[in-house]
Amino acid sequence: MSRVAVKTRYDGAFERLRQRGEGAFIPFLMLGDPDLATSARLLRAAVEGGADAIEVGIPFSDPIADGPTVQAAAVRALVAGVRPPDCIELLARFRAEAPEVPVGILTYANLVKHRDLKGFYASVAAAGVDSVLVADVPVRESEPYVAAARAAGVAPVLIAPLNASESTLELLAERCGAYTYCVTRKGVTGADEQLRLSHGGLFETLRRFGAPPTILGFGISKPEHVRDALAAGAFGVVSGSAVVQRVAANLGDPEAAARSIASFVREMKAATAR
C-alpha cells in the first residue's frame, strides 16, 4: 500500500498552530453521554473553550482500550438508547455549526464491521468527520480499514505502540493520516496524577519516517501534563477521562457540565503555548 495523504481540516488547523507556536489540545467526549441533547451542548462547549480539534467515541458495549470513566460514559449513552446512527446524525448537526473544527472518531472494529467498512466510512464522511481511529486494530492488520477510509476521504489514524519495531513504525508512517496517536503507557485510558514520559526515541523515529504529527493520549488531565508532553516532543495531546469526569459530575445539569468542560478546555489549551 503506497502512502496517500487524505486532506482534512487537521492540515489547516495544525499549520495555524505551528505558525502561532502552539501545540494541539484535543478533548474527547462520548457521544450521547448522558443523552443526545446534552452531548450536542458539550460539543459546543469544547469549541467555546478553544479546542483545536475534537475526538469522540461511539457508545460500544466492549471498549477494550477505555478505562472505567469512559466505559461508564458509554453505558450512560447506551442506557439512554443512543445508537450509532444517532451519533452520526449528531455529528452532522455539529459539523453544520462548527464547519472548521477537525473531528475524529475513536471506535472499535466490531462497530465498524457491523455495517461494513465501506458503508461505515461513507456515512461518517457524509457527516463531516475528518478521521477515524479503530483502537483495537493494530498497524499490521490495518490495511482494509486504511483503504476504506482513504476511499471515503477520511484520514485513518493509527496507534504507535510503545516499544514498536522500526518496521512497524515505518508501516504506520505509510498508512496513518491526520495524526499519529501515541500512548503515555500500556493499558487503558484514565486520568493520571503524574506522567512518566520517555518518548523521545519514538517521536524521533516517527519523524524520520515521515509519520503525521504525534498526539499523546492516556492520562492527560492537568496543564503540566500538556507542557510535559510538548517538552517531550509531542505535537499535542488528547484528554478523555478528565473531560468525561466533568460530565459525570454534572449529570442532570447540562449547563453546569458545559461550563465545566469549557473551563477545563480553556485551561488545558493555555498550556499549549510553546
Our CA angle for 55, 60, 63, nearest 5°, is 80
**What residues have CB less than 8 Å from 5, skipping those under 6 apart?**
177
**Residue 25: strand, helix, or coil:** strand
Give the other-Cβ count within 10 Å of 250's Cβ: 19
Please compute the mean of the pLDDT values over residues 156-185 and round it to a whole number: 94
Q: Are 210 and 178 in contact (CB under 8 A)?
A: no
| pTM for this predicted structure | 0.94
What is the residue whose three cell numbers read 522500526? 166
| Cis bond upstream, residue 34 (ω within 30) | yes
Task: Report whether pLDDT(18) > 90.
Answer: yes
Q: pLDDT, tens digit, for every residue of 101-110?
A: 999 999 999 9
Separation in Å, CA 119 to CA 115, 165, 185: 6, 33, 33
CA neighbor of 91 nearest in space, from 57, 48, 64: 57
What is the topology classification, in CATH, of domain 21-270?
TIM Barrel (3.20.20)
Task: Report whether pLDDT(193) > 80.
Answer: no
Active-site position among 66, 130, 170, 228: 66
Active-site position among 33, 55, 86, 130: 55
Please compute the mean of the pLDDT values over residues 149-164 and round it to a whole number: 95
What is the domain partition of the chain in residue ranges? 21-270
Is 116 a residue of the active site?
A: no
Q: pLDDT, tens digit, for every residue of 97-153?
A: 999 999 999 999 999 998 899 999 999 999 999 999 999 999 999 999 999 999 999
Q: Are 254 and 234 in contact (CB under 8 A)?
A: no
Is 100 a residue of the active site?
A: no
